[in-house]
Structure 1
Amino acid sequence: MSGKLTEAEAETYLIERCFTVHRPRRIGVELEWLVRRAGDRAAPVSRELSRSAVAPLEAASPLRGGGLVTREPGGQIELSSRPADSLGALLADVETDLAVLAGALAARGLVIDGNGLDSCRESHRVLDDRRYRAMEAYFSDQPSGRTVMCSTASVQVNLDAGTEHGIFGHRRRWHLAHRLGPVLVASFANSPLRDGRPTGWKSTRQALWFQIDPGRTFPVPDEHDVRAAWARYALDARLLCLKRDAADHWNAPPGLTFRAWLRGEGGERHPTVDDLDYHLGTLFPPVRPRGWLELRMIDAQNGDDWIVPVALCAALFDHPGATVTAWEATEPLAAGRLHPPWETWRLAAREGLDAPAVREAAQACFTAAESALARSGAPAKAQTSLRDFASRYIDRGRTPADDQLPTHQEFSS
């Protein structure tokens, strides 16, 4: 492929690279946390303190368990695992690296916070580089964008895209990810407060994503040809930033899509393959294909509860019986019989498991996952974590967000 892209070359590149087709085997996770001072969750963490705590880990990456440590714009910390060949291997890797991370933070009086949204501190950008300055400028007329950048945290589960056809085919797994999206949003909703007050949403973090640039944050349109749908989505999304060698800013021309840039609009240099790859990393749909599938709709979780969405997804995507059950359980949500599909995502974020149809689907999925993990000989910790979480929340129609609200269901409408 030439250095300077044509529109046709860009479409071909996206279609060929978005799904790496083979038998599902690997699993990974990216864990984000807010960072707080121990004993004072409302106190700000300065840029200098954030850097001094994390810089040695960034320099030492990958850590012993293979993970990479990075910081997000507001000082959130992210631990990205290496791809693992089994759920057990993944948990061992992450727990090894998480112990190192927690120790490095504790040495500077800091702790990680498993909430999906900072409920008491103002959004403040800590990282000062051209990418994040351009992102902040892009969201200058979208206050929710700044909040998402600097004040939210998530659990991102990464799964192989799948085979060419069959029950583990990439098209089916892609559609299953979208069918399960509202279930994952609701089951793990953990961000009901902002400025110390209920927002009316169980997952305010997901609600914030709904409020910014739908061309880069809404789900990819539901089409049979998922490769072509993703290519159109990516090329028609506006540039968030544009890398420049000499300039002191990477602000993109307002309204310029990647497709328009390929066609010579915007008065900028011509884009390259590297530019396209960079652009893909600035798109944030809840399911994002990067050769594998990234599930991006899950709020950060408290303590070791991050294990639960990882184990749940491993079971529902990679075990035949659980996959069939998950597909059937989410049929009422996907078919639009109750709500239009996109509105179901909003319902899940707003009401969590107070929404009866979402609750029923979640309960069926957790039951199927529990059985699949037991049959497959999954690590005892994964089985126990999922079972305990279901007992505390799913079986009772509750979510982690409900622990933070004054009364269950008071703010669910």
Structure 2
Amino acid sequence: MMTDAMKTEQGPATNDERTLGVEDSALTVASALGHIDRLFTPTHAHTVGVEIEMFLQPEGVREPPAFGVAAAVSHELQDHLSGRLTFEPGGQIELSSNPAADLQSLADEVDCDLRRLAHGLGRVGLQATTRRDTDAPLPDRVLHNPRYDAMERYFLPWNPYGLEMMRATAALQVNVDVGATASEVADRWTLLYAIGPALVAAFGNSPSAAREGGWKSRRLRSWLGLDPARTATPTLDGRHAGPAGYAQWALDAPLMLTQMDGHDWLAPRDVSFRDWILRGTEVVDRRCPARLADLDLHLTTLFPFVRPKGYFEVRYLDMPPGHWWIVPTAVIHAVISGPRAADAARAICEGTEDLWRSAAHYGLQDRRLRRAAEELLELSIENLQETPGARRVAARIDRYRERWTSRGLSPADLCGASENWLFPQQP
């Protein structure tokens, strides 16, 4: 699952590609489709990982330290952590775990990293939190490079959602293996989408102010308001694009940016990657014909709810409060772990698969989503209680269910600011 190639936006080319010089050759539509299709290659790996985003804020009422202080602390801490620290454009800090063979190993490693991170940040007057104040102004962008400069300009037609997405959202991304056979890959892909709205409702933790409509997941609201050609659920001919259709969807998505020698990477408007392959410098006049590295870069600018990267990156979840990150991670891992659990999860979520907007806006106030969420958590607890070494994780799901889900609530409804801090203790 989360191999070394997972830790960067652009994985290395395969040995065969290097040998054949594909990296330096102009792409054809067929070679581009084949390259994307390889992201769905079955694997017998059984690993799980996470990417955890958090906001930084000053402790007490002091003025926030300069971003450089947080960056320096992160650099100092890196050698003492198992995972990898990076930053998002608005200064959000992200911890990316290593792949783990089981949930308890992942929980132990990531919780240890989070305790060290909280301690290190505390030494310079900072604390990590998983939620912003609903009335806080939009933070400035602290990362300035050609990629983010182009991205911000590209999303201008969809503001304020583009600015909010880049600067004011914190996600939990769960990474799971694609499956061992082609049929399992396809089933897992559709299942991860099918369970999405129920999980969004259960774990919403980015509420908007009442004057903005009182959304439970302001973060997902932002994604739903962005460029539909590159976000949400990939479609082909008006239907959900499975693995067989994803490559076509990706090639037809508009170019956002192209790597240039200078600082202006913004791509021409209304040009798809397929257009670039077929028409070359006629449509992207500042660049040579599209090559493999250009396609890899393009793929990093696509933001479906589940993104194939040689593994499946589940992108629709808000970061839950504090150390509760393991709960949605475990639920996802549990329901895809075997055909019996997968079939049960699919049946539970029947009729809720397209309720993304309702999940983001109303959360578990939508009775269909509440029922599905409660049953998904129950299913995952049952599955993990039967799994050697996973009972402690199952107990954490049960405590979460009692705290929120069984009461028809998500953290957006009932969760104080202090619960969102990264304290050293575990729930």
> Which band: TM-score by shorter chain?
0.7 to 0.9
Q: Which moved more, 1:376-385 or 1:277-286?
A: 376-385
Equivalents in 1 of 2:77, 2:211: separation in Å? Answer: 35
Equivalents in 2 of 1:176, 1:52: separation in Å? Answer: 41
Equivalents in 1 of 2:338, 2:134: separation in Å? Answer: 36
The match for 2:48 among 27, 38, 53 is: 27
Equivalents in 1 of 2:45, 2:190: separation in Å? Answer: 15
> Does the alignment pair 1:68 with 2:84?
yes
Matches within 5 A, 1:8-407: 8-15=30-37, 17-23=38-44, 25-40=46-61, 44=64, 46-57=66-77, 60=79, 63-65=80-82, 67-115=83-131, 119-143=135-159, 144-165=161-182, 169-194=184-209, 199-221=213-235, 226-245=242-261, 247-263=262-278, 264=280, 265-269=283-287, 270-334=289-353, 341=354, 344-403=355-414
Q: Secondary structure at the match of 1:382?
A: helix
Equivalents in 1 of 2:151, 2:134: separation in Å? Answer: 20
Residue number in structure 1 paired with 2:9: none
Equivalents in 2 of 1:392, 1:188: separation in Å? Answer: 12
Residue number in structure 2 paired with 1:338: none
TM-score by length of 2: 0.85
2:131 alignment partner AA: N
Q: Deviation of residue 227 (structure 1)?
A: 2.7
Equivalents in 2 of 1:297, 1:347: separation in Å? Answer: 14
Q: Which moved more, 1:142-151 or 1:116-125?
A: 116-125
Q: Secondary structure at the match of 1:98?
A: helix
Q: Deviation of residue 165 (structure 1)?
A: 4.9
Sort the Cα spacing of 1:262 and 1:56 in 2 relative to 1 into closer, same or farther, 3 A: farther
Backbone CA RMSD of aligned residues: 2.2
Equivalents in 1 of 2:29, 2:255: separation in Å? Answer: 15
Equivalents in 2 of 1:378, 1:40: separation in Å? Answer: 43
Q: Deviation of residue 48 (structure 1)?
A: 2.5
Sort the Cα spacing of 1:231 and 1:349 in 2 relative to 1 into closer, same or farther, 3 A: same
Q: Deviation of residue 369 (structure 1)?
A: 0.5
2:91 alignment partner AA: G
Number of residue pairs the alignment of both structures matches: 387
Residue number in structure 2 paired with 1:409: none
Equivalents in 2 of 1:199, 1:96: separation in Å? Answer: 37
Unaligned runs of 5+ residues in structure 2 are 1-16, 417-427
Q: Deviation of residue 119 (structure 1)?
A: 4.7
CA contact (8 A) 1:26 1:86 kept: yes
Unaligned runs of 5+ residues in structure 1 are 335-340, 406-413
Equivalents in 2 of 1:309, 1:51: separation in Å? Answer: 29
CA contact (8 A) 1:117 1:191 kept: no
Q: What whole-Å deviation, never above 9, does each CA across 1:113-142 have from its counterpart, x for those lacking one?
A: 112786513231011111111111112232
